């Protein structure tokens, strides 16, 4: 193997390493947050501070998310779904998006979804969060409350 080929391979490895920094930082941040939520139980009132929406008397789409992460870190899937069903239901979607992004970064072929698709999915997600919030704050949807 020639010196030029060795240099090219080293450069390719360095480029790939740089491309993988963002996914690794995101994965590290999620891991650190999950460990923190596992070690400091959000089920204990006030352990993570006061929730502004709960203080105002309503449950936002994220209410119960910290408890859901804690439940998932303890392998209590049904308890996590009871804490925040929307959060638990969207985990596979976000895992798939993260996977596609990471593979694109690894291969050097960026994954760029169609902008219309992104706009549609974003609109649907926002609508689902609004409906989820409204329903979980009504007597009929009390079973969705955290």
Q: What is the pLDDT of residues 68-117, one digit of tens each?
A: 999 999 999 999 999 999 999 999 999 999 999 999 999 988 888 889 99
CA distance 143 to 28: 33
- 3 state SS of 138: coil
Contact 145, 59 (CB under 8 A): yes
Alpha-carbon Rg of the chain, whole angstroms?
20
Instruction: Map tokens 């409350």 to a residue.
Output: 145
Treating both helix axes as pointing N-terminal to C-terminal, what angle do 3-19 and 85-107 enclose, rounded to 10 degrees? 160
pLDDT of amino acid 52: 87
The residues, any chain, with a CB within 8 Å of residue 132's CB and separated by 6 or more, are 61, 85, 86, 144
Tokens of 95: 């895992």
Where residue 146 falls among pLDDT bands split at 50, 70, 90? confident
């Amino acid at each position: 193997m020639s010196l030029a080929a060795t240099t090219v391979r080293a450069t390719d490895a360095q480029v790939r390493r740089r491309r993988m920094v963002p996914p690794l930082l995101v994965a590290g941040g999620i891991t650190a947050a999950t460990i923190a939520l596992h070690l400091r139980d959000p089920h204990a009132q006030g352990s993570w501070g006061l929730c502004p929406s709960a203080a105002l008397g309503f449950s936002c789409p994220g209410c119960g998310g910290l408890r859901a992460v804690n439940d998932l870190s303890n392998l209590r899937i049904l308890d996590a779904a009871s804490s925040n069903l929307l959060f638990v239901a969207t985990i596979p979607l976000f895992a798939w998006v993260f996977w596609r992004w990471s593979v694109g970064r690894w291969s050097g072929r960026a994954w760029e979804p169609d902008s219309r698709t992104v706009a549609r999915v974003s609109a649907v997600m926002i609508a689902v969060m609004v409906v989820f919030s409204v329903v979980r704050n009504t007597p009929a949807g009390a079973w969705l409350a955290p």
